[in-house]
Amino acid sequence: MGDIAILTEADLRRAVTLGAPVLKAVEDAFRLLASGKVVMPPILSMEIAEAHGEVDVKTAYLPGFEHFAIKVSPGFFDNPKLGLPSLNGLMILFSAKTGLVAALLLDNGYLTDIRTAAAGAIAAKYLAPKKVETAAVLGTGAQARLQIIAAHQVRPFKKVIVWGRDPVRAQACAEDIATALKIEADVVKDAAAAVAEAQLVVTTTSARKPILRAEWLHKGLHITAMGADQAGKNEIDPRAVALADLYVCDRVSQAAALGELRAARAAGLMNGETPPELGAIVARTNPGRPSETAITLCDLTGTGAQDTAIASYAFAAARKLGIGTKITA
């Protein structure tokens, strides 16, 4: 049935880095998503309670793309006890003409990390104030680093403030960011202080109760909330979601089921409106940030459209570099 390309995580780390071409690929996917021509079914989700695990499957067909991706993301939260990462997974690229398997991208979640950070950068590009002197990140994991590194490409801020529940992890995160971006990166004990000083805040935690309070909102602030991607998760005070001058999400159906919008609506807020999606702002059918002093919030749950975009990009990049192995199946 033809050759299938196999790309390992090492192959994909060589072929795909978090730079302008990746940001453009993800930006283009958001623009397409706003066209109404993308086919993106609801996420398939299965819980394996006995193993403290779950698995999500995402996909989307982007018109004009040679392939579509199916991404399988297992999250098994006892893995760290076994010395294994919680998040893993792979992407499979299929021909959008014949359905034949074109490539297996054994990325162990690497491409998800990259496309998630790229989406944060696109949110910042279109929604953050033009001038960002200081960025803050609430969270200290891999996405805390990647979100800041990606956002810096669209808003070259001079300083980063890191907040996390664990000060040791916060310090390590700040040091990694300082090394990567060659800018000042400080740790604060109080998330309020981080938000107060920043024009751009990214939240990257798995919080199930808000970590960013409505009282902390200030003029000229943009927040990207990327942590909540499940019905139980909630990083942003529902009142903050309602108070923002502009609330934007990646996909309304997903945000309402899995994101900050879900928590806000559960609190009786945001029920009367269908908010705009990031793609509409990228496509300029929605004006986006109303003014430099407005408060904006972008709620990212992660879309199959981003997965098809990054998998297609990775496959093309690997082919160009002659990376990967082939199997005849």
CA–CA dist 122, 31 (Å, integer): 11
Residue 44 C-beta: closest distance to a copy of itself, Å = 4
CA–CA dist 95, 91 (Å, integer): 13
Please say which residue, 205 or 308, places its beta carbon nearer to a copy of itself: 308
Q: Taking a C-beta distance cutoff of 8 angstroms, is the pair 29, 306 a contact?
A: yes
Instruction: Please choose, from the candidates 165, 142, 154, the residue with its C-alpha nearest in 3D space to the C-alpha of residue 235.
Output: 165
Residue 265 C-beta: closest distance to a copy of itself, Å = 23
Please say which residue, 158 or 326, places its beta carbon nearer to a copy of itself: 326
Instruction: Please choose, from the candidates 323, 327, 326, the residue with its C-alpha nearest in 3D space to the C-alpha of residue 17.
Output: 323
Instruction: Please choose, from the candidates 287, 282, 166, 139, the residue with its C-alpha nearest in 3D space to the C-alpha of residue 223.
Output: 139
Instruction: Please choose, from the candidates 190, 165, 183, 185, the residue with its C-alpha nearest in 3D space to the C-alpha of residue 175.
Output: 185
Please say which residue, 72 or 183, places its beta carbon nearer to a copy of itself: 72
Please say which residue, 82 or 130, places its beta carbon nearer to a copy of itself: 82
Please say which residue, 274 or 328, places its beta carbon nearer to a copy of itself: 328
Q: Taking a C-beta distance cutoff of 8 angstroms, is the pair 102, 117 a contact?
A: no
SS3 136: strand
Please say which residue, 35 or 285, places its beta carbon nearer to a copy of itself: 35
Residue ranges that bind a copy of itself, judged by CB under 8 A: 1, 4, 6, 8-9, 39-48, 50-51, 53, 55, 57, 59-61, 63, 68, 70, 72, 74-76, 79, 82, 84-85, 88-90, 92, 94, 96-101, 104, 106, 108, 325, 327-329
Residue-by-residue DSSP string for 230-273 = STT---B-HHHHHHSSEEEES-HHHHHHHSHHHHHHHTT-STT-
Amino acid at 169: R
